[in-house]
Each structure stands twice: as C-alpha cells, then as structure tokens.
Amino acid sequence: MIVSTPEEIRQFLPSHVLVNIDTVRGFLDNSEHDFLAERIGLPLLARLQQEYKTMEENDIVVPLAQYSYDKRNVWQKLLNLCQRVVVFDAFSRAADVHAISLNDAGLNIAESQGYDAADTKVVDKYKAQLARESHAASNRLLIQLEEWQKSLGKRDAEDDSQPENEEETAAMLSEEDGEATVDPSEDEEEPAGEPVDNEADPAAEAQAMRDIIELWKQSAYYYYADGLLFNTATEFGLYVNIYESREKFIQLLPDIRYCQETHIEAEIGTELLLDLIGKHRQGSLGKEEEIAYHKLQRVLSLQVEARSKVIFRKDAKEESIGHTRLAMEYIRRNQTKFDKEAMKTSPLFDWFLWRREEVADENTDRKDPHALKKPPFIPGLPHRDKYLVDGVHRAKCDYDPRDPRLHRPCDHPGDGMLVSSLI
C-alpha cells in the first residue's frame, strides 16, 4: 500500500479525525488496485510501492510552509499525486459503509459520542464530491505523466543539440520541470529542525522519469501511443471541447484509432501518414507538412465526433466530407514539399508534379532558370516554333514544350526528334 498512516490521509482530507487507519485499510487497498492501477498500470504501482517503503516519514508528510512540492524528487511527486487519487476514491467507497454499524442486533445507523449521524442527503453529497475530487486528482496525475513524457520525447528527438553526457541532459530536464539545477558536488548544510532536501541529482531525476514512463507504457491508460495524429488530450482539445479531461480522451482512443485507420490512412497512404506523425513527434515538420498535419487533425476530429457516442455531433459527418476534400487537395498540390519516398506509395502521388520540380532544379543548376518559362522564338517554321528545352533547340509540334506533362515524341514526318528528353 502507498497510504499507511492517518497523517498521510490528513494531507488531502484535513477534517478527518481517524486515529487508526485499519477502519479504511480495505478501501484504500481496493482503490489502489481497482482505480489507481487502471491508470498507471500494475508494474508502475508495484515499483511505486517499493519506493514508498524506502522513504522517510518526513519525505511523505511535509507541511507546505516548510517544504515546496516542486522540491520533491520525481518519485515523491508521483507518490503524492497517487496518494491523492487513492484517498479520495477510497473514502468515496467507504461513505455508505461508515454510515452504518453492524452488531448482534443487525444494521444500525452509526453514531458516536459528540457527533450526530449524517442523514442520507449529506452522505450522498459527500460521496459525489469525493468522486469528483478523485477524478480531478486522476486527471492531474495523467497531466504530470504526460508532461514528463513530452519532456523526455523532445530531448530524445533533438539529436543535433543532444548534450554530451547524461548529467547535462538531466539538468536540461530539471530546468524545464521548473526546478533549480543544483551542483551535486556542493554540499550545503540544512538548518536544524528543517526537513532534509531530498532533491536528487539531475542524472538520477532523468533516469527516474524514464523508468516511470517505461513502466507507464504497460498500463491501459497510456495514451502516448505510436501512430496517432493526436498524441495528447491537449491537442485533441484544440478541435473538440473535452473540458481538458484526460480520462475522456483515453475513452476516445479506440474511436480515434478506428477513424484514422479507416479514413485518413486510406486516403493518403500508410507510409506518408507514419512519416508525418514521426516528424510531428520530433518537431521537424516543414511549413507545408505542418499545415497538412493540422488539416488532417481537423478531419480526424470531425470523424470521431460523427462516430463516438461520447462526443457525438450530428453535423460532424457532413463537415468531415468537405474538410477531407480540402486536405487531400492541399497535399496533392504541395506534395513535392513532402518526403518523396513516403509520397510514392500514396494514392495522391503525381509523377508529373515531381518531374516538373526536377526539371526546374536541373535548369536552375544550369543557370538557365527561364528555359522552360520563356524560350526564345526562332523563325523559319510557318506552323510551329522552336524552343530551348533541356538546353537544346527543339521543334514545337502539337504540344507545348514548356509544360513537362505535355512532352511527347514529334509526329511530324521528317523531324525525327523528340520534343523533350523527359520521356
């Protein structure tokens, strides 16, 4: 268990006067394994329980006036967030049971000296409020895990600016998390009576974050799944109002994945979709790719609204059709700004557009960028002109040599030449 003393409970429910935790121990244990484990996974819960056993009491229960939450190390922060979830959920479960006493005479309304028994309405309100607090605490826990994941992901993706050693990496992560970077070689004496500053060195903090995220990946609530256009609830909330609820976002993951695979992937191709998602995670999308990515997110959000019962909106299906057409047309027209290898397998791939781009690049290299745009007129032919194409004067037949898509072999007898070497 990660909650074992009345003082730990009092951090979150200061009004309780429990002397012995045995009266709620069973509810606390059930909340850990039913409510908390579903969100962080059994492997991470087991590791957190091990870390909890190694902590001192003043590391767990610390008055806010003496100790700032931000100064706690990673495992202490995670423990505090998880304890909050467990306590609120456990007391919500126990409310009805604690209102009843059982003796040899049967069930009775529980009373104690100096306290009146709570009526039904008070108990119901108490339970409802604790349930809301438990879900709010769960959302806060998921937000923290999300921030750690994003922080590590950004640092791992920046290969060019990667620090040379792990200490520098951890220092950068510590600064991003709002903590002051402290040189572990400098030993400062703590004033007598003050809690010991347990802030670990930056390298240990970074490794702890990695361990936590790796264990969290094994949970059912791990949303940072590879291959989704929406990897955070924050991104999805830009298109659909889910009231910043990570739990609701996680409930929508099956619908998001279904709509992406059935609609988006079928329209643009698997390779192009994975290429865009990978670049988005690394923050390396180009200008046109970034615009296309947001258009695809808009399409996906509308399709999820049309499918999901959680956020269903009847007009979303019709809107998604128009936005899909706009997104596909944008990618088709700007496909030369995307990765060619990924684009080749896409249904939107247009060989002529890529060839036009290649010819333009070749002419630029020859220092003749206007060769295909403004070819010189050469008189002498009554029914056709001559143009400079690929650096060679060619006869203009029934096709315009300035347009690579219209280059064809010359059909006029006696010419015996190709209008362009593109074919």
User: Is the domain of 203 the same as that of 68?
Assistant: yes
pLDDT tens-place string over residues 261-285: 999 999 999 999 999 998 988 888 9
Beta bridge partners of 409: 418
From CA 44, how far away is CA 216, in angstroms rounded? 6
Query: Alpha helix (H) ranges present in 65-195?
Result: 74-98, 120-157, 166-176
Backbone φ, ψ for residue 150 (5° rounding): -65, -40
From CA 47, how far away is CA 40, in angstroms rounded? 11
From CA 58, how far away is CA 67, in angstroms rounded? 10
User: Is the domain of 31 the same as that of 65?
Assistant: yes
Asked if residue 422 is part of any domain, the answer here is no
Q: What is the mean pLDDT of residues 289-299?
A: 96
Asked if residue 285 is part of any domain, the answer here is yes
DSSP 266-325: HHH-HHHHHHHHHHHHHT---HHHHHHHHHHHHHHHHHHHHH-SSS--TTHHHHHHHHHH
pLDDT at 408: 45
User: Is the domain of 136 the same as that of 245?
Assistant: no
Asked if residue 356 is part of any domain, the answer here is no
Asked if residue 416 is part of any domain, the answer here is no
**Who has greater pLDDT, 330 or 421?**
330
User: Is the domain of 104 the same as that of 160?
Assistant: yes
* pTM recorded for the entire structure: 0.64
Q: What six digits make up the tokens of 173?
A: 């992560």
pLDDT at 407: 45
Q: Are 31 and 93 in contact (CB under 8 A)?
A: yes
Q: Are 268 and 328 in contact (CB under 8 A)?
A: yes
Q: Are 296 and 271 in contact (CB under 8 A)?
A: no
User: Is the domain of 13 the same as that of 161?
Assistant: yes
User: Is the domain of 24 the same as that of 170?
Assistant: yes
User: Is the domain of 208 the same as that of 275?
Assistant: no
User: Is the domain of 134 the same as that of 282?
Assistant: no
From CA 417, how far away is CA 126, in angstroms rounded? 90
Taking alpha carbons only, the member of 147, 145, 273 closest to residue 215 is 145
Orientation of helix 42-54 relative to helix 202-216, angle to 10° = 150
* All residues at 6 or more sequence positions from 359 whose CB lies less than 8 Å from its CB, including other chains: 372, 390, 404, 422
Query: Alpha helix (H) ranges present in 192-286?
Result: 202-216, 233-237, 246-259, 265-268, 270-282
pLDDT at 234: 82
Q: What six digits make up the tokens of 232?
A: 């955070």
Residue ending a domain, choose from 309, 344, 379: 344
From CA 74, how far away is CA 211, in angstroms rounded? 10
User: Is the domain of 241 the same as that of 211?
Assistant: no
Q: If pLDDT is split at 50, 70 and 90, which confidence band does 223 have?
A: low
**Who has greater pLDDT, 221 or 351?**
351
From CA 79, how far away is CA 277, in angstroms rounded? 33
Asked if residue 355 is part of any domain, the answer here is no
Asked if residue 353 is part of any domain, the answer here is no
Q: What is the mean pLDDT of residues 335-364?
A: 85
Count of domains observed in the chain = 3
pLDDT tens-place string over residues 107-160: 556 555 555 566 678 888 888 898 899 999 998 998 888 888 878 876 665 644
Res 341 pLDDT > 60: yes
User: Is the domain of 339 the same as that of 375?
Assistant: no
Domain that holds residue 399: 365-406
User: Is the domain of 154 the same as that of 91?
Assistant: yes
Asked if residue 420 is part of any domain, the answer here is no
User: Is the domain of 153 the same as that of 12?
Assistant: yes
Asked if residue 192 is part of any domain, the answer here is no
Note the maximum CA span of the chain. 120
